Amino acid sequence: MNFPEDLKYTREHEWARMKGTKVVVGITDFAQDSLGDVVYVELPAVGDEVKRGESFGVVESTKAVSELFAPVSGKVVEVNDPLVEAPETVNEDPYEEGWMIAIEPSDPKELADLLDVKAYTAFVDEQE
Amino acid sequence: MAQRTPLYDAHVRAGARIVEFAGWDMPVQYAGILEEHAAVRTAVGLFDVSHMGEVVFRGPRALAALQAVFTNDLSTVADGQAQYGCLCREDGGIVDDVVVYRRAADDLLVCVNAGNRQKDYEWLAAHAGGADVKNESDDWAQLALQGPKAAALLQHCCDVNLSAVKTYRFAPGKVLGQDCLVARTGYTGEDGFELFCRPADATALWDGLLEQGAAEGIRPAGLGCRDSLRLEMAYRLYGSDMDDATTPLEAGLAWVVKLDKGEFIGRDALRRQKEAGLSRKLVGFQLTGAGIARHGYPVVQDGRTIGVVTSGTKSPSLGTSIGLAYVPPALAAEGSTFAVDIRGRPVAAKVVKTPFYTRQAR
């Protein structure tokens, strides 16, 4: 399993990357591996408000539906639209091409509550 | 704890992801559902279906007794031939959908769904009709070798002349030295075989077939693609598309209900239902809007719930979002439209012809 050191993580297996004032969000290697082949992604629209810990979309594999949870609250400022046509990108490159949305956080302090790579790795080990 | 088939260790060795299904620890996938699905459609896949149960009717009353609990007509099949049909309750509800292998008029093997092993045995034993009814589920393992290259591969490994074993026929023989019933049956829509063998021989057979099929691109295939393959064919899955509270007529299985063959359990109820007309029908649909329909999602029209999705997936072969749903008969005709409620959002769907997938001409 690959969990990049420079990212923050949630217990719902999303990752968050600070990029300027934005927070880019996707699902982790663990999440994509557990799901299996991703065949459908449903994402919010630019301008939508998301709330920390609440669902902002879904990823679906051949067998199952899995909700996506926002790591921070804020406004959606970018959406990775090509995923809709190429959902397999989530499996192939979860941390780069497979990103899902970028959020302009309304409360940057929330970032401090996310897990660092060490805490997330320990959390995943517990799950397995 | 969930039960394990004789091949459990082989699955773990092959890197399978194990999930519990119908009380069994089964491989849902090895490399991935899409890759395994494609292997079965274009080459050959090998499934462990040892979780399926086997109940055997023997003795001079065997055929008559089974006829009295089975909706299809076993008098029309020859020895060495198999037939699909349902076991029904008095009220027409489906106890199970099964395949009967007629070895002889006094020796018939009923292959039942994994989750119904005990229920079916108890039902059949309670309606034994003078036959000797035995639950042999633990005495058999089953491998399914499915795909366009299955026949050539298996012919290379067995002493049965497979050109003489047509679809829904079977014959005893040796496969890689192991005694098997070699049946040209399956649940994928491709040409293929189901091999009934002794549990002790299953691993040798499994390993040997994977080795012999390597050049053909054989893949071990899990329950994940078994489900997507069967749904592309609109094959019903007991427990998802039908249960004790649905009848074969509602489930679109009228073609295996022979009301005129003589008496059988459920016949009168089914005849009454046929005369009175159905209140719902299982149909195949395709989503014309974006999304994937799943088991349990409501079918809606004008804001009212009028039915329910029983199976749904994104078809790996077709790329479209397909499913089965119970709808009022007025909406069952091809081309009818309704919506599926996907997480609160109505997504347009239309009734299409099934099977969704047609086997490629070769």
Note whether residue A80 is domain-resident. Answer: yes
Note whether residue A4 is domain-resident. Answer: no
Provide the whole-model pTM.
0.95
Q: Do A63 and B28 touch (CB under 8 A)?
A: yes
B354 — pLDDT class (breaks 50, 70, 90): very high
Q: What percent of chain A has pLDDT over 90?
A: 94
Residue B173 pLDDT > 70: yes
Res A63: pLDDT: 85
For residues B179-207, give the mean pLDDT.
98
Q: Enter the ipTM.
A: 0.88
Q: Which of the following CATH numbers is that of domain B279-351: 2.40.30.110, 1.10.3720.10, 1.10.150.120, 1.10.10.10?
A: 2.40.30.110
Residue A29 pLDDT > 80: yes
Residue B216 pLDDT > 80: yes
DSSP state of A108: G
Tell me which residue range forms the domain holding A56.
Answer: 14-107
For residues B292-301, give the mean pLDDT.
97
Res A127: pLDDT: 81
Domain count, chain A: 1
Residue for token digits 């790996």? B316
Note whether residue A122 is domain-resident. Answer: no
Res B361: pLDDT: 67
| Tokens coding B359 | 């086997």
Per-residue three-class SS string for chain B? CCECCCCHHHHHHCCCEEEEECCEEEEEECCCHHHHHHHHHHCCEEEECCCCEEEEEECCCHHHHHHCCECCCHHHCCCCEEEEEEEECCCCCEEEEEEEEEEECCEEEEEECHHHHHHHHHHHHHCCCCCEEEECHHHCEEEEEECCCHHHHHHHHECCCHHHCCCCEEEEEEECCEEEEEECCCCCCCCEEEEEECHHHHHHHHHHHHHHCHHHCCEECCHHHHHHHHHHCCCCCECCCECCCCCCCCCCCHHHCCCCCCCCCCHHHHHHHHHHCCCCEEEEEEECCCCCCCCCCEEEECCEEEEEEEEEEECCCCCCEEEEEEECHHHCCCCCEEEEEECCEEEEEEECCCCCCCCCCC
Q: Do B224 and A36 touch (CB under 8 A)?
A: yes
Query: What CATH number is associated with residue A50?
Result: 2.40.50.100
Q: Which of the following CATH numbers is that of domain B53-136: 3.40.30.10, 3.30.70.1400, 3.30.1360.150, 3.30.70.270?
A: 3.30.70.1400
Sort out which chain B residues have CB atoms less than 8 A from A32's CB and list them: none
Q: Which of A30, A34, A37, A65 to mutate to test the interface with B (most CBs of B within 10 A)?
A: A37
Residue B39 pLDDT > 80: yes
For residues B312-325, give the mean pLDDT.
97
For residues A57-61, give the mean pLDDT.
96
Domain ranges of chain B: 8-50+140-232, 53-136, 279-351
Q: Do B314 and A39 touch (CB under 8 A)?
A: yes
Residue B285 pLDDT > 90: yes
Res B96: pLDDT: 98
d(CA A64, CA B201): 34
Model pLDDT for residues B45-86, shown as the tens digit of each residue: 999 999 999 999 999 999 999 999 999 999 999 999 999 999
More confidently predicted of A127 and B27: B27
For residues B352-359, give the mean pLDDT.
95
Residue B362 pLDDT > 70: no
For residues B1-19, give the mean pLDDT.
95
Model pLDDT for residues B217-258, shown as the tens digit of each residue: 999 999 999 999 999 999 999 999 999 999 999 999 999 999
Interface check for A46 against chain B (CB to CB < 8 A): the answer is no
A128 — pLDDT class (breaks 50, 70, 90): confident
Q: Residues B248, B256: contact at Cβ < 8 Å?
A: yes
Mean pLDDT computed over every residue of chain B: 97
Model pLDDT for residues B80-123, shown as the tens digit of each residue: 999 999 999 999 999 999 999 999 999 999 999 999 999 999 99
Q: Which of A63, A68, A85, A88 to mutate to test the interface with B (most CBs of B within 10 A)?
A: A63
How many Å is the Cα radius of gyration of chain B?
20
CB neighbour list of residue B361: distance below 8 Å, 6 or more residues apart:
none
Q: CB atoms < 10 A from the CB of A106, how many?
A: 14
Res B134: pLDDT: 98
Residues 50-89 of A with CB under 8 A from B: 58, 60-63, 65, 84
Sort out which chain B residues have CB atoms less than 8 A from A60's CB and list them: 292, 314
Domain B8-50+140-232, what architecture? 2-Layer Sandwich (3.30)
Q: How far is A17 from chain B (nearest CA, A)?
A: 28
